[in-house]
Copies of this chain bind each other. A is one copy, B any other.
Amino acid sequence: MLSYTEENYLKAIYHLSGSGAKAVLTSEIAETMNTRAASVTDMIKKLSAKNMISYEKYYGVKITRQGKAEALMVVRKHRLWETFLVQKLHFSWDEVHDVAEQLEHIQSALLIEKLDEFLEFPTVDPHGHPIPDKTGKFVEVRQIPLSDCSGKKKITIRAVRNGSPSFLQYLSKNGVYIGAIITILEKIEFDGSLEIMIDGKKKVFISREASQNLLVTE
């Protein structure tokens, strides 16, 4: 069984590796975990001893099949709890992350299955991120940044890339939400900002940065 801290490291490695695809460097882990490289090296050895990652000195780590499965369960719990907080307790989407960081470590298989059922088996969390099922599978929809779109097609907002509270609040304030259907009215050459129409009734301006952090499907 993994400790609270081991779970956090493993989840970070999973995300940094792009769902397990590529190797991750010590410095990248230190950066996201807000710790020193020396601490990361210590933890890498522990996770390696538990076969959660494979480690080659000076060349970073790769997550193992087993490690990926464990990481996916932490991600599942995080996203189910975020969904609970928003849908049942009426948190706003910018308030849930820190609480979910704690709740994701509660150890009880029964709890998470019952929570999943209570929420009626949601497939995405409040930020549009997929929720792995109990076997670790989730639907992958090909999403592109809004900044890569053009033309007058209907576009659906699917997820945020950066989930910082300030970005989420900015989106709420401008009426942008997961599931909204928009069209691009104009792309400003000068700064890359977009004028968009939301649900056919609300015109707003979205900065380039914002459009790069919104994932959509056309």
The chain A residues found within 8 Å of chain B, CB to CB, are 85, 88-91, 95, 98-99, 102-103, 106-108, 110-111, 114-115, 117-118
Residues on B with C-beta less than 8 A from A95 are 110
Q: Are A118 and B103 in contact (CB under 8 A)?
A: no
Contact call B91/A102, Cβ cutoff below 8 A? no
Name the B residues within 8 Å of A118 (CB-CB).
Answer: 88-89
In the complex, how many angstroms separate the beta carbon of A215 from the nearest chain B beta carbon? 28
Across the two chains, which residue of chain B brings its CB closest to A106? Answer: B102
Residue of B nearest to A107 (CB): B102
With a cutoff of 8 Å between Cβ atoms, the chain B residues found around residue A106 in the complex are 99, 102-103
Query: Within 8 Å CB of A98, what residues of B?
Result: 108
Distance to closest chain B CB from A109 (angstroms): 11
Please name 19 further chain A to chain B contacts, defined as beta carbons within 8 Å, in addition to the given A85-B111, A85-B114, A90-B114, sorted by A numbering.
A88-B88, A88-B118, A89-B111, A89-B114, A89-B115, A89-B117, A89-B118, A91-B110, A91-B114, A95-B110, A98-B108, A99-B106, A99-B108, A99-B110, A99-B111, A102-B106, A102-B107, A102-B108, A103-B106
Q: A174 CB to closest chain B CB, in angstroms?
A: 24
A–B complex contacts, Cβ < 8 Å, 18 sampled: A85-B111, A85-B114, A88-B88, A88-B118, A89-B111, A89-B114, A89-B115, A89-B117, A90-B114, A91-B110, A95-B110, A98-B108, A99-B106, A99-B110, A99-B111, A102-B106, A102-B107, A102-B108
A8 to chain B, nearest CB (A): 15
How near does chain B come to A106, taking the closest CB pair, in angstroms? Answer: 5
- Tell me, in angstroms, the Cα distance from A90 to B110 when the chains sit together: 11
Kindly report which residue of chain B lies nearest to residue A91, judged by CB atoms. B114
